[in-house]
Amino acid sequence: MKTTMIVLVLCAGAVMSPAMGADPVALAGAKQCFVCHDGKSQVMMGPSFRDIARRYKAVSNAKSMLAEVIQSGTEGRWAASKMPAASDRAPVSKEEAEVLAEYVLSFE
């Protein structure tokens, strides 16, 4: 029984991504999200996280949709604002994008 528990713990550690336990604020800072986005309502180059959360609050697949946008960039969703393509900014893994999307959607 003890051996089984050790194996399970080791396997769980191998499957978990570092992003899963990441501090979303620190991750957003490391990925330079705050260069273009503010948490509250200040207009910057991109929409505030609060405005994004309000727009997509009722969308059933908002987290996965935003994670995709975070990874690939977007154009035309926020008037003239354009999120640069992935090749023009800090790379974001799928797991990191999911953490960031959840963080953005937490704003009210």
Give the range of the structural domain holding residue 28, as residue numbers without chain letter. Answer: 19-105
- In this predicted model, what pLDDT tens digit does every residue of 12-22 receive, in sequence order? 333 334 454 67
What is the average pLDDT value for the chain, to the nearest integer? 80
- In this predicted model, what pLDDT tens digit does every residue of 66-97 receive, in sequence order? 999 999 988 777 777 788 888 888 899 999 99
Strand duo 74-78 + 81-83: pairing: antiparallel
Count of domains for the chain: 1
The two structure tokens encoding residue 41: 């309502």
3-state secondary structure of 13: helix
Report how far residue 61's alpha carbon sits from residue 56's, in angstroms, rounded to the nearest whole number: 9
Helix (H) and strand (E) counts for the chain? 5, 2
CATH number reported for the structural domain that contains residue 96 in this entry: 1.10.760.10
Residue 10 lies in a domain: no
Q: Global pTM?
A: 0.76
pLDDT of residue 85: 83
Residue 57 lies in a domain: yes
E strand intervals along the chain: 74-78, 81-83
Residue 84 lies in a domain: yes
Residue 7 lies in a domain: no
Residue 14 lies in a domain: no
